[in-house]
Structure formats: structure tokens, C-alpha cells
Amino acid sequence: RFLRARLAAPLPGAEAQRRFAPVPLLPGWSPDLTPATARRAAALLLFYPSSSGPTLALTVRHTSLPHHAGQISLPGGGLEPGESLEAAATREAEEEIGVAPDRLRLVGALSPLWIPVSNFVVTPFVAVTDERPAFRLHPGEVEALVEVPLSHLRDPAQIRLAQRQRLEQLVDYPFIAIDQHTVWGATAMMLSEFLCLFDAHHAPPAIA
């Protein structure tokens, strides 16, 4: 009930998404832009009960994929012709992690996010189930499932800072540490807005 009401109210939006963007920002980039050439896509934040409380399903993208290979991601992908955003989010969840649409309940949507690397504008949807799904991973798209309790995501102690090379420039980026995994980039930006539904001040340390 909390999520349904909160997602129907004004969302944290681009300001919250930008908190987990690499610094310096790409020239001309803002998370709320929708370039005319961009494709539409949808993703799913799927929560289910576990012994650790509400838990989110994340995926490790297959290393053979053309974009974001090997990174932690949400189930998601581009719209098919005539498909709605909601239908794309649930279809991708079924294809990637084997959760049938009739086994989940969509609660609402977060703000769209433009991802320049793949030129997708992604709309994330939040869904819940009453029990842990019997996950089935797509062998060509998903290498592993990462199950992370909401309490872990909300813990500020799990937010870290690191550096990486982007083209010819060294950038600083915040990430969420989950065991040996690093959640950064677009996935972290989408999670940032979701976590701000609970705590408007949820943010990484300031990057100088």
C-alpha cells in the first residue's frame, strides 16, 4: 500500500537518478532527456518475501551481450511493435528470469531514464509477488541471479565510490556493494530513485 501510494505521488525523478551518475557527467546528458533517436524500453524491480524481508531480483548480464555485458542489471529490454511499457517489463521478466506475468502484481512506475550508451529511454516498473518465484534464467542473457534484501539496498554503509575509464577520461562513480558485485550506472540510478521513495536524503558521499 505504501509503494502504490508513493508511486502515484510526485516522484523524486532526475535529481535522485543523477546522484548515482558518474562524474563528470557526459556532455549534454541529463537522465530526463528523451532524444528523438532513442528507443523505448522497460525494466522491472521485482520484490518478493524472504527470511531477510522484502528482496529484489537482480541479474548478471551475459558476457556475450552487446551492451552492459557482465554488469548487474534489472530484467528489462526494448519494446516490441505495438507493445506497452507495462507489457514489455513483464514480458522481459518472463523471458530473462522465468516469472510469468500472472504471478506478479504491478504497483507503479518510476521516472524514465535515458541511457546514452545503448540510447534507450527506460521506464522502470515496480512489482511484487506473495512468495519467492521459481526462477528460470535465460541461458543466453543471464549468467546469474542476485537476490538482495531491501534492507541492504537502504543501508548507506553499502554505498561506495570508485573510478573507472570512460573513453579517454577517468570518472568517479558511486556504486552499491552487494557481496562481490558492484551495482553502478543505470541500474544504480534507477535504484536511487526507488530508495528515495523511503528516504529523500538517500545518496552517496559527495564527489569532489
What average pLDDT score do residues 144-150 get? 97
- Please report which confidence band the pLDDT of residue 140 belongs to, taking 50, 70 and 90 as the band edges: confident
Over pLDDT 90: what percentage of the chain? 87
What average pLDDT score do residues 169-198 get? 95
The C-alpha cell of 140 is what? 543466453
Locate the DSSP E strands across the chain.
39-48, 55-61, 72-73, 76-78, 105-109, 113-115, 120-128, 142-149, 159-166, 169-178, 181-183
Is residue 205 predicted with pLDDT exceeding 90? no
pTM: 0.95
Is residue 128 predicted with pLDDT exceeding 90? yes
The per-residue pLDDT for 66 is: 54
The gap between the terminal CA atoms of the chain, to the nearest Å, is 39
pLDDT digits (tens, 9 = 90+) for 2-61: 999 999 999 999 999 999 999 999 999 999 999 999 999 999 999 999 999 999 999 998
Is residue 68 predicted with pLDDT exceeding 80? no
The per-residue pLDDT for 69 is: 62
Report the candidate in 73, 50, 60 with the shortest Cα–Cα distance to residue 151. Answer: 50
Is residue 62 predicted with pLDDT exceeding 70? yes
What average pLDDT score do residues 156-168 get? 91
The per-residue pLDDT for 168 is: 82
Q: What is the mean pLDDT of the chain?
A: 94
Rounded to whole angstroms, how far apart are CA atoms 1 and 22? 33
Is residue 74 predicted with pLDDT exceeding 80? yes
The per-residue pLDDT for 71 is: 85
Give the strand pairing for 39-48 and 120-128.
Answer: parallel
Between 68 and 119, the more confident residue is 119
